[in-house]
Amino acid sequence: MIYEQPDYINRRKKLGSLIQEKYQVKNGNIILFANLENERTLFSQESSFFYYTGINEPGAVLIVDLNGYTTLFIPNFDGKREAWMSGCIDLKSPQKVGVDEIKLLGDSYKGIVAHPFFTVDEYNHLIEFIKNSGLPFFSLLPDLASSNFVQKFLLNRLISFLSELGEKVRDISSLIYSMRRKKDATEMVAIIKAIEITHMGFDAAKEVIRPGGLESEVKAAMEYIFTSFGAQSAFPTIAASGKNATILHYTKNLDELSSGDLLLIDAGAEFNHYCADISRTFAISEKMTPRQKELFNVVQDTKEYIESLAKPGMYLNNNLFPENSLSHLAMQFFAKYGLEKYFTHGIGHYLGLDVHDVGSSHEALSEGDVITIEPGLYIKEESIGIRLEDDYQITKNGCVCLSDLDKS
């Protein structure tokens, strides 16, 4: 299958215009950092860097002027990296990666891996470029403790060699996030493909559910399908039986499946960088006990209720407007059954390049947002954990379920 390429050039131009408008400036540079490698895990690109480039290589630095002229700075490995890695960027072929120019960050690295503690020499061309530009810089520096750690770290390291940069950098995370929230057609194709692969994973996983089977077999069946279809796990698969399912992010997945217990599977494929996120809960033996079924039905009813309410103007979670906040409304629904204390997480999140994608849950939903709806009940004393989760797109007047392919 041939997929249409996203229009990275226009995305960068649009970001430039948004900055010009918000900051009332004509000139300046956007600076974004690619993620770094880690030898124990597969390389995963920084999502916003990928959103504006489609480039999946570590260690690069992107400079875009506000009219869209794009320079990609890459680490200088002196041609050594090609012997070890595929996909290396060719300095002489900017058109291949859709940028105007490619330059070396600086002098050559000793090895073939870009690392966080780069020296002034390894970045001296970029440092010179910034010194000479005399313009404001715009980057991803949201004021959230957990996000953009690599971006912040690399920028701070750069500032340690170039103190004047510190005063010139403004945070544009809200502009970038507002763009990433609106998925274009190419992004929706990737999300839907990730969802289809996840459904096939669930079909395979269901085949290995049996008393005496293992949580690890369930995970393996799921991820065998992901790998076969050129995808990978968007997050660590959760195959949690019995009491384990009451631990929200249980990922050990080593216990035996016991007759009479439930099995909660929460899994998602990442296809072409876009994520799916789906949860189902199954009986390990033939059928659920009456109590399990009663609780399962409440979760299912809550999910249908929230689906019926999700639309532009509602919030995923907003304490100031509980009457329009889906998390609060789900809690109230559970409260009708006296079960509210067992619903211990929010009702959902944005979905896209990141499984918990950018966008504030306090902001109103709008047409085009892609979200999850995932009510659950976790009752330790009964060894019961139930979560049902699907993926949705907000439409003009409501939402459409993207993952309801086979009602599995």
Nearest-5° Cα angle at 343, 342 to 345 = 135
Q: Are 60 and 32 in contact (CB under 8 A)?
A: no
In angstroms, what is the minimal distance from the CB of 20 to ligand GLY?
36
Restricting to residues 366-395, which ones interact with ligand GLY according to CB under 6 A? 374, 389
| Residue pointed to by tokens 């907000």 | 394
- Interface with ligand GLY in residues 323-352 (CB under 6 A): 349
235 binds, among ligand GLY, Mn ion, none (CB under 5 to 8 A by kind): ligand GLY
Query: Minimum distance between the CB of residue 351 and ligand GLY, rounded to whole angstroms?
Result: 9
Q: What's the closest the beta carbon of residue 281 comes to Mn ion, in angstroms?
A: 12
Applying CB under 6 A, what is the total number of residues that bind ligand GLY?
6
- Cβ 370 to Mn ion, closest distance in Å? 12
Q: How far apart are CA 63 and CA 28, in angstroms?
A: 10
Q: Does 235 bind ligand GLY (CB under 6 A)?
A: yes
Q: How far is the CB of 324 from ligand GLY (least distance, A)?
A: 22
- Degrees, nearest 5: CA angle 195-198-201: 160
Residue nearest to ligand GLY (CB): 266
Token reading at 289: 């006990």
Task: Kindly give, in sequence order, each residue whose CB lies less than 8 Å from that of residue 272, ignoring residues fewer than 6 positions away.
Answer: 3, 190, 193, 194
Out of 122, 187, 196, 266, the residue judged to bind ligand GLY by CB under 6 A: 266
Whole-angstrom Cα distance, residue 8 to residue 44? 19
Q: Which is nearer to ligand GLY, 261 or 354 (CB)?
A: 354
Which of the choices Mn ion, ligand GLY, none does residue 187 contact, using the CB cut-off of 5 to 8 A by kind? none
Residue 16 or 376: the one with the smaller Cβ distance to ligand GLY is 376
Q: How far is the CB of 350 from ligand GLY (least distance, A)?
A: 11
DSSP conformation letters of 320-377? T-GGGBHHHHHHHHHHTTT-GGG--S-S--B-SSSSS-SS-TTSBP-TT-EEEE--EE
Q: Which of 277, 354, 357, 390 is the binder for ligand GLY (CB under 6 A)?
A: 277
- Tell me how far, at minimum, the Cβ of 77 lies from Mn ion, in Å: 38
Structure tokens at 281: 């809960």
Amino acid in the structure at residue 108: S
In this structure, the chain runs to a length of 408
Q: Which is nearer to ligand GLY, 104 or 269 (CB)?
A: 269
Do residues 301 and 333 lie in contact, with contact meaning Cβ atoms separated by under 8 Å?
A: yes
Residues lying near Mn ion in the complex (CB under 5 A) are found at 266, 277, 279, 372, 389
Minimum CB distance to ligand GLY smaller for 196 or for 357: 357
Contacts with ligand GLY, residue ranges (CB under 6 A): 235, 266, 277, 349, 374, 389
